[in-house]
Amino acid sequence: MKPAPFEYATPTTLDEAIALLATPGARVIAGGQSLLQDLRWRRTSASVLVDLARIDELRGVHDDGARVRIGARVRHVDLERGAVGGPLGRLLAATAGWIAHPPVRSRGTMVGSLCFAHPSSEWCGLAAGLDAAVELVSVRGRREVPVAEFLRDSFATTAAADELATAVLVPTLPDGTRVGVVESRRTHASYAHVAAVAARVPDGGSRLGLAGAAPTGTRAHAAEAALARGEDPGAAAAEHDADPREHPHASIPYTRHVAGVLVRRALQEAA
């Protein structure tokens, strides 16, 4: 199918971009890996597509010691190839490697994934699990929203239509943190069913993120707590953290079960 008509703009500065986004019906295009499908299916439309491809301010990653700032133009493949160092970088690289296949990874962006808010998005699960935040900029100003608040529902965020997500800010993981990411997925040409991301921080407990187990990526608080009490984190994840929706190939009980299994396995991988 073909999209309905739209204008196309390639601003070179952030100011220009947010000015364009103030136009009613304007939309950001980052990697286009999800947006183009929605436009073609006419699920969404745009008066003007604001392409981020030429805005240098949105490039690259920056580590300030406490948090790593990942710009809106950073693609899955950049993270897969080690754009970020340390244990967090290893977790990002391992996670990116699971996403779809190379052509998608060479265009899709991490920030775009958060904005698209697919329930099975690995980045949504990871960002929720690590308590990351999204930086939003519009002509009205700049704000930072924790991911747990940003991801409102499947395919829905709390960003306003005129806001540009400039970066995701992910807390760094201390040296010695061990990481793991596991998935259940049927092919590499589509999304995972469920993904679990684990970071075991030395003397600091564990961080667990889940994707595909609930309408949005989530931090597995119950599993983390169970682990701290020496109980089975898998059972806790299945019962409390998972909140799945029915899927033609995965019932609610099955998805709960898978979330539990994967939480255990992600922790094992991070052991």
Partner 1 sequence: MRGDDRLTRGRGRYTADLHVDGCLEAAFVRSPVPHADLLGIDTTAARDMPGVAAVLTADDLTDVGDVPTMFGTDDSPPWRPLAADRVRHEGEAVAMVVADDRYRAEDAAAAVRLDLRRRPGHAAPGRAGRTDRLYPDHDDLALEKEFGPPVADATWTNAHIVIDSRYRQQLLAPTSLEARAILVEPGALLTVHCSHQYPHGLRTGIAGAFGLAEDDVRVIVPDAGGAFGSKSPTYPEYLAVVAAARRLQRPVRWIEDRTEALTSASRGRGQDQHVRLAADADGRILAIDLQVDADIGAHPLGAALPGQTALAASEAYAVGEVHATFRSWFTTTAPTYAYRGAGRPEAAYAVERAVDELAAALHLDPAELRRRNFVREFPYDTPTGRRYDSGDYAACLDRCLELLEPDRWRGARERPTGVGIACYVERSGGEPGILEEYGSVTVDPSGFTARVGTSSTGQPHHTVFAQLVADRLGVPADTVDLVEGDTGEVPEGHGTFASRSTQMGGAALAGAADALVDEARAQAADRWGLTADDVAWDKGVLRAGTRELPVAELAPLHAEHRFTSPPAFPYGSYGAVVEIDPELGAVHLLRLVAVDDYGTVLDHTATHGQTLGSIAQGLGQVLIEGVVLDDEGATVMPDGLLDYLLPTAAEMPRDLRVDETAVPAPDNPLGVKGAGEAGCIGVPPAVVNAVADAIRPLGGDPARLRMPLTPQVVWEALGGERSDGEGRG
Ligand X SMILES: Cc1cc2nc3c(=O)[nH]c(=O)nc-3n(C[C@H](O)[C@H](O)[C@H](O)COP(=O)(O)OP(=O)(O)OC[C@H]3O[C@@H](n4cnc5c(N)ncnc54)[C@H](O)[C@@H]3O)c2cc1C
Give me the residues that bind ligand X (CB under 6 A), please: 27-35, 72, 99-100, 104, 107-109, 111-113, 115-116, 118, 121-123, 164-165, 189-192
Indicate the angle between helix axes 86-98 and 122-129, nearest 10 degrees. Answer: 150
Strand ordering across the sheet containing 133-138: 61-63, 67-71, 164-171, 133-138, 141-146
Min dist CB 92 to ligand X, Å, is 13
- With vertex at residue 29, the alpha carbon angle to CA 24 and CA 32, rounded to the nearest 5 degrees, is 140
Q: CB-based contacts of 19: which residues, under 8 Å, 6+ apart?
A: 139
Nearer to partner 1, 39 or 227 (CB): 39
257 interacts with partner 1 by CB under 8 A:
yes
In the region spanning residues 192 to 221, those forming contacts with partner 1, defined by CB under 8 A, are 193
Query: Cα separation of 38 and 255, whole Å?
Result: 26
Q: Tell me which of 74, 79, 191, 241 binds partner 1, using CB under 8 A.
A: 191
Nearer to partner 1, 73 or 193 (CB): 193
The beta strands (E) that lie in the chain are given as 7-9, 26-29, 48-51, 61-63, 67-71, 133-138, 141-146, 151-153, 156-157, 164-171, 178-184, 194-200, 206-211, 218-219
141 interacts with partner 1 by CB under 8 A:
no
- Pick one of partner 1, ligand X, none as the site partner of residue 3 (Cβ within 5 to 8 A by kind): partner 1
Q: Tell me which of 86, 221, 225, 254 binds partner 1, using CB under 8 A.
A: 254
Maximal C-alpha separation, the chain: 57
Site string for partner 1, 49-88 (x = CB under 8 A): ----------------------------------------
Write out the residues near partner 1 by the rule CB under 8 A.
1-5, 37, 41-42, 101, 184, 186-191, 193, 246, 248-254, 257-258, 261
